[in-house]
Structures are given as structure tokens and as C-alpha cells.
């Protein structure tokens, strides 16, 4: 199942491992941002969060909107990524949808978050991607 995001606006979240020690929270160990959109990012707050909109992908699995909060602490930039010390993905339904795998990753479309549009967009459209680069299709 393909999806389209301009390469310029593609931001990825990767992790080494994931654990579900608390209800509603997935802890992502060895987590980092990567992708072409980092070229547009001048600075990232050391402690912050963004809201990820997975509605289009999870619509068949949950009765309401699947909007997750991605929060982090400690952000260190290298030449090609931003490494996060602590990263949590939270949503009340996170324990009832298919669990994240260690080799999955998230692709975020940042096109609505350029300076001219950012104030009108409260969420980032996001997709859960398998290790082979294909978007999960929960319809099957």
C-alpha cells in the first residue's frame, strides 16, 4: 500500500526497541529522527512533544480518532539525525492496536508545518511503516 509524501517533507522516527510497561504508553529506546525534513529544522527543543495523526491508517481498528502524542527529552543533533534520550508514544488505545515492532518506523508528513501553515495545523499526519518500507494495511 503506497502513500505519497514529498521527500522534502519526510521525517522519520526510528527506534532500536519498544516496550509497553505502562498502559497507554510505548517507550521507544534508541529513538531518533531522520529524513530529508531535518534539513529544514534549525533547532529542536530538548524537551518537547508533537501530536501524530494516524487516523487514515487505524480507522478500522479504533472507534474514535487515533491521535498519538510523541514526547521526548534530550535531543542531540548529529550530521544526519537527531538522537533522543527518552521517547514515548502515548494514546489510550495503544495497547489495543497491533504493537510496534523493533524494526518498524514512523513516517511523518511535515508539509503542513512550514512557517506559513504551521499555526493552522495542530497535528502531523503520520504512518506506521514495516521494515520493508511498506505502510501497514490494517484492512487485511
The angle at the Cα of 89, spanning 66 to 98, to the nearest 5 degrees, equals 60
pLDDT at 83: 97
Sole residue written with cell 495523526: 53
By CB atoms closer than 10 A (0-12, 13-18, 19+), residue 77 is: middle
Q: Which residues pair with 50 in a beta bridge?
A: 70
Quickly count helices (H) and strands (E) in the chain. 1, 9
The Cα 44–Cα 34 span in angstroms is 13
DSSP 8-state symbol, 135: B
CA dihedral 84→34→13→37, nearest 10 degrees, is 120
DSSP 8-state symbol, 3: -
Which pLDDT tens digits describe the chain residue by residue (140 residues)? Answer: 445 667 788 999 999 999 999 999 999 999 999 999 998 877 889 999 999 998 887 766 777 778 899 999 999 999 899 999 999 999 988 887 889 999 999 999 988 756 565 566 688 899 999 999 888 877 66
Sequence spans of domains, the chain: 7-129
The end-to-end CA distance of the chain, in Å, is 11
The angle at the Cα of 15, spanning 55 to 106, to the nearest 5 degrees, equals 25
Cβ neighbours for 117, distance < 8 A, ≥ 6 positions apart: 111
Amino acid at each position: 500500500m503506497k502513500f505519497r509524501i514529498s521527500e522534502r517533507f519526510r521525517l522519520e522516527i526510528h527506534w532500536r526497541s519498544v516496550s509497553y510497561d505502562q498502559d497507554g504508553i510505548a517507550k521507544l529506546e534508541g529513538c531518533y529522527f531522520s529524513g530529508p525534513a531535518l534539513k529544514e529544522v534549525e533547532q529542536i527543543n530538548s524537551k518537547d512533544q508533537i501530536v501524530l495523526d494516524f487516523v487514515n491508517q487505524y480507522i478500522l481498528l479504533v472507534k474514535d480518532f487515533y491521535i498519538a502524542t510523541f514526547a521526548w527529552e534530550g535531543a542531540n543533533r548529529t550530521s544526519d539525525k537527531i538522537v533522543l534520550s527518552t521517547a514515548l508514544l502515548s494514546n489510550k488505545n495503544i495497547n489495543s492496536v497491533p504493537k510496534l515492532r523493533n524494526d518498524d518506523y514512523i513516517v511523518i508528513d511535515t508539509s503542513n508545518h512550514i512557517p506559513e501553515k504551521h499555526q493552522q495545523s495542530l497535528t502531523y499526519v503520520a504512518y506506521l511503516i514495516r521494515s520493508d518500507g511498506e505502510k501497514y494495511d490494517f484492512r487485511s
